Amino acid sequence: MVMKVLIAEDDFRIAAIHESYIQQIEGFQVAGKAKSAKDMWEALQKEQVDLILLDVYMPDELGTNLLPLLREHYPEIDVIIITAATETTLLRDALHYGVVHYLIKPVTAQKFAQVLTEYKEKKDIINSKDEVNQTMIDLFFGQMQEEPKEKDGRDLPTGINSLTLDKVKTLMASENNGITAEELGEKMGASRTTARRYVEYLVTTGECRAELAYGIIGRPERKYYPAIKQAES
């Protein structure tokens, strides 16, 4: 599922930077840009939007003042605040109305990608299951590190967080007969794309191995195995 993002930012230069960031992140698409609160409301009437990147200091209204109206009229749309505002009262208001993150400008490309990727992974968990277990809940509410690292201290690449990675490692440890990215995604409660990103990372670290397997119709697909196990012929 591609997430449609509306950028509500009055500075066209910053809006362009954030748009370029979004274009580099898998699973996201810019639905539009709004330079004011008025523009934002008009865009919401015309475009399908899943996520709003909202500045606090809009020319015609404080972004935090828009939050109760957004919750009332567009409860299905999530909001990430991206602002230079550092007042605690604004953060308190943002949390009260359920923003999914609060970013202080300037935002690096790495931090931007980390926040949006983790946000989408959590949405995938919620959307993929009728019921949840405690592992999924812990992942959803888990606090991610500023600079994700492996337990041995190695830096993790953008788009990989330690909680999900540990879950994938646990699942893969018992997959002696191999598993596809789609099957792994179902077990994770995540998308095939997310599952593939994590297991391919484990291939690069030598903790998993991949082989081509041919299905009934002869189309090859990658199956993944624990590195210490040998695939059976």
Domain ranges of the chain: 3-107, 132-226
User: pLDDT for 88-123, tens place per residue?
Assistant: 999 999 999 999 999 999 999 999 998 998 898 888
Give pTM, 2 decimals.
0.66
Q: What percent of the chain has pLDDT over 90?
A: 57
| Chain centre distance of CA 121 | 5
Q: Does domain 132-226 have CATH number 1.10.10.10?
A: yes
Query: Range with the lowest mean pLDDT among 95-99, 153-157, 176-180, 207-211?
Result: 153-157
pLDDT for res 131 = 75
CATH tag, 3-107: 3.40.50.2300
Q: What is the band of 136 on the pLDDT scale with cuts at 50, 70, 90?
A: low
pLDDT-derived band of residue 151, with 50, 70 and 90 as boundaries? Answer: low
